[in-house]
Amino acid sequence: MLVLVAPGQGAQTPGFLTPWLDLPGAAERVAAWSKAIDLDLAYFGTKADADEIRDTAVAQPLLVAAGLLSAAALGDAVPGGIAPGAVAGHSVGEITAAAFAGVLSEADALSFVRKRGQGMAEAAAATPTGMSAVLGGDQDVVVAHLEKLGLTPANINGAGQIVAAGTLEQLAALEADKPEGSMKVVALKVAGAFHTHHMAPAVAKLEEAAQALTTADPTVAYISNKDGQAVSTGAEVVARLVGQVANPVRWDLCMETFAGRGVTGIIELCPGGTLTGLAKRALKGVPSVALKTPDDLEKAAALVAELSV
User: pLDDT of 42-65, one tens digit each?
Assistant: 999 999 999 999 999 999 999 999
Structure confidence at residue 309 as a pLDDT band (50, 70, 90)? low
The dotted CATH code for 2-125+196-308 is 3.40.366.10
Sheet architecture: strand order including 230-231: 230-231, 221-223, 86-89, 2-6, 265-268, 288-290
Residue 177 C-alpha from the chain's centroid:
29
Residue 269: name the closest of 30, 23, 89 by CA: 89
Q: Which residues are CB-contacts of 302 (< 8 A; sequence separation ≥ 6)? A: none
Query: What tens digit of pLDDT does each residue of 155-196 get?
Result: 999 989 999 999 999 999 999 999 999 999 999 888 899 999
- When pLDDT is averaged across residues 247-270 and rounded to a whole number, the result is 97
What are the structural domain ranges in the chain?
2-125+196-308, 129-187
Q: Looking at residue 189, what is its pLDDT?
A: 80
Cβ contact 51:72 at 8 Å: no
- When pLDDT is averaged across residues 69-78 and rounded to a whole number, the result is 96
Following DSSP, what letter does each residue of 227-253 receive, concatenated? Answer: TS-EE--HHHHHHHHHHGGGS-B-HHH
| pTM score | 0.95
Least-confidence region, from 113-122, 148-157, 185-194, 228-237: 185-194
Q: What are phi and psi of 219, to 5 degrees?
A: -90, -5
Q: Looking at residue 308, what is its pLDDT?
A: 83
Please state, rounded to an integer, the average pLDDT across all residues of the chain: 96
Is 195 a catalytic site residue? yes
State which H helix or E strand residue 45 sits in: helix 41-46
User: CATH number of the domain at 129-187, out of 3.40.50.620, 3.30.70.250, 3.30.70.1250, 3.40.50.720?
Assistant: 3.30.70.250
Is 198 a catalytic site residue? no
Which ranges of 78-199 would DSSP assign to H, the alpha helix?
93-100, 106-125, 139-148, 168-176
**Which listed residue (34, 90, 182, 195) is catalytic?**
195
- When pLDDT is averaged across residues 93-119 and rounded to a whole number, the result is 97
**Which listed residue (34, 70, 90, 91) is catalytic?**
91
